[in-house]
Amino acid sequence: MTMIPPGSVIGMLGAGQLGRMTALAAARLGYKVHVFAPEGMDSSCGQVVASHTQAGWHDRRALSRFADDVAVVTLEWENVPTETVEFLSRHVAVHPGAAVLAVAQERLAEKNFANGLGLGTAPFRAVDSVAALKQAVAELGVPAILKSNRMGYDGKGQVRIAADTDLAAAWAALGTDMAVLEGFVDFACEVSVIVARGHDGQMAAYPVVENRHKDGILDTSTVPANVSDDVAAEATRTALALTEALGVIGLLAVEMFVTRDGRVLVNEMAPRPHNSGHWTIEFAETSQFEQLVRAVCGLPLGSTRLRAPCVMTNLIGSDADNWPALVAEPGARLHLYGKGEAKAGRKMGHVTRPA
């Protein structure tokens, strides 16, 4: 592939904070970003980009105009309809492509893909009815977690199943026609690895990150993870294998469970920048956002070396109201996403500190 030179326009599908931070990284390298999303210009990403198209994902006239204005397209949200990506791909290169999204958008597809590569996951069953849920619970036991097959994130689209759970009520609460029941995993911690892959197949993995959640939402990411060298090597191998097998151009974030006996199990993957990689802005040689720009534009990948141990903390809802103290705190790196109302559970920003 011929490198896309600085001064070109990168198309961004999605208008959230991941797009915002990617646009800022692109600007530092001399690129402009044109965002396409149903949200308006006051979105987190829309506030910092050169151009903005507000339109629905299936508006082909708007998509055609968007494609004509950009040199390449990437995304900050993996749930963009695959039909949208397929349509754009007939006019301009889109990374990652629809085939990658088809796997990443569905939990069942993710787990089957990982298992097909010989990679472990939690035990699971497909569930499409109350009867199927009862059968799955009988096979996997309790406790277990019932998750929607599509669109679940930050603890949404999940119901915990215990011995006394009303299964019919749990199925109705999920409000879906396809779900996954995941069996219990006695894990010691959760980790993630972000891998970048270029057009030439070159890959670069960031250090293994240890993640802690609160109320189903990522709370902190600590680098390096407090795991053995063998576990770190297996987590990295797993993420590299998935990235290569999917043929990702751009980024793939892989979240994994580490069991108490040292096994690494794939939980979820996302072909985009990831919350657990925000620390890379200050504490890696190349941020995940710059790495995405490099990968999709055909530039050489940057170094993923960790500059110093660190901890990234999400600012959820009213946590962001503490910005005066955070901006005055020595060593703290504060990022606010330009969002309006600080709703409960809404990611308003993050702060990264030396560990």
Confidence at residue 154, expressed as pLDDT on a 0 to 100 scale: 60
- Is 334's pLDDT higher than 70? yes
Confidence at residue 155, expressed as pLDDT on a 0 to 100 scale: 60
Backbone angles phi, psi at 277, to 5 degrees: -110, 10
123-183 adopts what CATH topology?
A: Dna Ligase; domain 1 (3.30.1490)
Report which residue type is found at 312: M
Model confidence at 172, pLDDT cuts 50, 70, 90, reads very high
Q: Which residues of 195-216 are buried (b: 16+ CB within 10 A; e: fewer)?
A: bbbbbeeebbbbbbbbbeeeee
User: Mean pLDDT over residues 88-109, rounded?
Assistant: 96
Q: Which of 183, 179, 193 has the alpha carbon at shortest distance from 264?
A: 193
Kindly list the domain boundaries of the chain, sorted by start residue.
9-94, 123-183, 187-354
Confidence at residue 321, expressed as pLDDT on a 0 to 100 scale: 95
Q: What percent of the chain has pLDDT over 70?
A: 99
187-354 adopts what CATH topology?
A: D-amino Acid Aminotransferase; Chain A, domain 1 (3.30.470)
CATH of domain 9-94: 3.40.50.20
69-87 per-position pLDDT tens digit = 999 999 999 999 999 999 9
Collapsing DSSP to helix, strand or coil, 25 comes out as helix
- Is 302's pLDDT higher than 80? yes
Beta-bridged to residue 252, according to DSSP, are 195
- Is 292's pLDDT higher than 70? yes
Stated pTM of the model? 0.96
Confidence at residue 289, expressed as pLDDT on a 0 to 100 scale: 98
CA distances from 273 to 76, 113, 157, 173, 255 (A): 7, 21, 22, 30, 13
